[in-house]
Chain A
Amino acid sequence: MAIIEVDSLVKRYGDHTVVGGVSFAVEQGEIFGILGPNGAGKTTTVECIEGLRSPDGGAIRVCGIDPQRDTGELRQLLGAQLQESELPDKLKVSEAMELYSSFYRNPVDWRELIDSLHLTDKIGTQFRRLSGGQKQRLSIALALIGNPRVAVLDELTTGLDPQARRDAWDLIEGIRDRGVTIVLVTHFMEEAERLCDRLAVIDAGKLVALDSPAGLVSAVDDRQRIRFRPSAPIDHAVLATLPEVTNVERAGSQLVVTGTGNLLLAVTTALARHQVIAGDLRVEQTSLDDAFVALTGRSINN
């Protein structure tokens, strides 16, 4: 069942169309990624879902609610973590949690929540004294305090060091395991690939692809490449005639075999039959990065 439905969403700022007819549906319980370069319209799209901006066209439903018409109800069901929104410098963690608890009808126990985010030893600490990762975790806690059905996390891991980023990913999976549907806005490929069940790729205000990370990759290019150094000379035809193989090339002492499907198994089986051992074996696959370049015509970082 779709928990969020976005149908032909349009948003303009003056003459500039930031979102030009984007449609997608987010299923209950999934981690749904919105991936795209800076300025692609990702944040504007989620801000329309969050009811912070009113669309110029199209329709949005979150748990069946129109975010513009029933904003009060939406706020109870949807928790949001925004880019660049801080707390007062001298507000303590415990005070922030108590304050935000009082905003909601059925808040969760904030002490448990803080504990699950490993912030228990920081509850007496003022916001300004928290590290970047701790601020982000507090921000997640505030997005979840109202016991929402949907959490929208916008560029959650931007500015975090690699370890803090990996910790955040574990957290997000933990949140999903509590039954919360997650919409994750990101421009990190690794993050999208690791976390998301499905991805909407947005570029210049348009939806260019919508699939699982693996699906996106295979739609673009499902060729795989195997490199190895054969332990004995082998006739290329032995490999070239395999149905999975499309091409065999020699590169110095190495053979490069290109193909599709279960290429690795087919090649290693054929080699074993001829008592050839594949040394320095490497399998190269198209990455989500490559898929993104193929879909949008440019790398995500520029």
Chain B
Amino acid sequence: MSTFSRLTLTEIKLFFREPAAVFFALAFPPILLIVLGSIPAFREPDKTLGGARVIELYAPIIVALAVTMFAISSLPQMFATYREKGVLRRMRTTPVKPVMMLGAQLLMCTIMSVVVMLVLLVIGRVAFDVSLPKQPMYLVCYLLVALAMLAIGLLVASLAPSPKAAGAIGSILFFPMLFTAGLWAPRDTMSSVLRRISDFSPLGAGVQSLQDTAAGHWPQLLHVAVMLGWTIVAGGLAARYFRWE
């Protein structure tokens, strides 16, 4: 087995040994979808939403929530812990560069959040009759949200002085980000000012483009640009301030 695949496999094994992380990242998003879908009114077409069903609006929001769990909660914590414990320092003495460890963690987060996304799509389809995405661009948009969020997660990992601080910054970012994603009030119910703000947030742009592509449309250029912008800015700053030790 190659070094990179063994590293990724090891990271996946380690992830599954943290019950709390496994629950929040893997089980919580599907449970939330099921809970929301169990509310009868959410399954009925809503006139104020132009005949859409609330559960259909929530499907992409919960997909975005799942990505956020990995990118903003798991990744910065894991990385800051490895840095504090000298795991990366030890790796520097071997022929393998620590950047490979970073790559393995990013790949692990991506693989796991894609799995959660697929589970969410299947549950939505089977249990609540939410149709599967009609546009293949859905996948591209999904990867763009994941990239933007992972870049922000890396920036948190770069700036946080300790694992505790990484956890705290992650929680502080978590709620406003999910607010802009529409977790408390879906974008279609937001006031126009709020929706405008949401348009420029990574998750707001992400959720809207997931919603658009799921319905069979093309994503709006604005939202694609917003996601790319966050990826470039956060990724660039993360690269600038990155520390291995």
Interface of A is mostly: loop
Q: Which of A97-105, A174-182, A242-250, A264-272 forms part of the interface with chain B?
A: A97-105
Smallest CB-CB separation from B85: which chain A residue? A86
Contact of B93 among A52, A86, A99, A105 (CB under 8 A): A52
Q: From A20-28, A76-84, A161-169, A187-195, give the one contacting chain B.
A: A76-84
Is A259 close to B, CB under 8 A? no
Is B18 touching A85 in the complex (CB atoms < 8 A)?
no
Task: Please tell me if the beta carbons of B90 and A82 are within 8 angstroms of each other in the complex.
Answer: yes
For residue A162, give the distance in angstroms from its CB to the closest CB of chain B: 25
Task: Indicate the member of A79, A84, A105 with the most B CB atoms within 10 Å.
Answer: A84
With A102-B3, A102-B6, A103-B96 already in contact, the answer to whether A95 and B90 are too (CB < 8 A) is: no
On whether the beta carbons of B6 and A52 are closer than 8 Å, the reply is no
Return chain A residues, CB-CB under 8 Å to B90. 82, 85-87, 142
Contact A88 B89 (CB under 8 A): no
Using A84-B86, A90-B18, A143-B93 as known contacts, list a sample of 15 further A-B pairs with CB atoms less than 8 Å apart, ordered by residue number in A: A52-B93, A75-B95, A78-B93, A82-B86, A85-B85, A85-B87, A85-B89, A87-B85, A88-B81, A88-B82, A91-B14, A95-B10, A98-B6, A99-B6, A100-B94
Cα–Cα distance between A104 and B3 once the two chains are bound (Å): 9
Minimum CB–CB distance for A210 against chain B, Å: 25
Cross-chain contact A88 with B14 (CB below 8 angstroms): yes
CA–CA, A91 and B16, complex, Å: 11
Contact at A146–B95, with CB atoms within 8 Å? yes
Pick the most buried of A76, A82, A102: most chain B CB atoms within 10 A of its CB. Answer: A102
Q: Which 7 pairs show the lowest CB-CB distances between chains A and B?
A: A85-B86, A80-B93, A85-B90, A75-B95, A90-B17, A86-B85, A103-B94
Residues of B within 8 A of A98 (CB): 6
**Contact: B95 with A104, CB < 8 Å?**
yes
B192 close to chain A: CB less than 8 A: no
A75 with B14: in contact, given A85-B87, A103-B3 (CB under 8 Å)?
no
Residue-wise interface mask of B (1-40) relative to A, using a CB-CB cutoff of 8 A (1 in contact, 0 not): 1110011001001100110000000000000000000000
Instruction: Indicate if A30 sits at the interface (CB-CB under 8 A).
Output: no
Bound form: Cα–Cα A6–B215 in Å: 67
Give per-residue flags for A136-166: 1 if the beta carbon is below 8 A from chain B beta carbons, else 0: 0000001100100000000000000000000
B residues within 8 Å of A by Cβ? 1-3, 6-7, 10, 13-14, 17-18, 81-82, 85-87, 89-90, 92-96
The answer to whether A72 touches B95 (Cβ under 8 A) is yes
Q: Mark A7-30, 1 if CB is under 8 A from B, else 0.
A: 000000000000000000000000
Within 8 Å by CB of B94, from A90, A91, A146, lies A146
Q: How far is the CA of A256 from the CA of B140 in the complex (A)?
A: 90
Compute how far the CA of A273 lies from the CA of B96 in the bound complex, rounded to whole angstroms.
Answer: 71
Q: Which residues of A contact B81 (CB under 8 A)?
A: 88
Q: How many residues of A contact B (CB 8 A)?
A: 27
- In the complex, residue of chain A having the shortest beta-carbon distance to the beta carbon of B17: A90
Q: Is A50 an interface residue (CB 8 A)?
A: yes
How near does chain B come to A204, taking the closest CB pair, in angstroms?
A: 25
Q: Is B10 in contact with A103, judged by CB distance below 8 angstroms?
A: no
17 contacts between A and B (CB under 8 A): A72-B95, A80-B93, A82-B86, A84-B86, A84-B89, A85-B85, A85-B90, A88-B14, A88-B87, A90-B17, A98-B6, A102-B3, A103-B3, A104-B94, A104-B95, A105-B95, A143-B93
Q: How far is the CB of A95 from chain B (nearest CB, A)?
A: 6
Provide the bound-state CA to CA distance between A1 and B82, in Å: 39
**Closest residue of chain B to A76, judged by CB?**
B95
| Distance in Å: Cβ of B14 to nearest Cβ of chain A | 5
A98→B5 CA distance, assembly (Å):
12
Q: Give complex CA distance A75, B81 in Å.
A: 24
Closest chain-B Cβ to A126's Cβ sits at a distance in Å of 8
Q: Once the chains bind, are A86 and B94 in contact (CB under 8 Å)?
A: no
Closest-CB distance, A103 to chain B (whole angstroms): 5
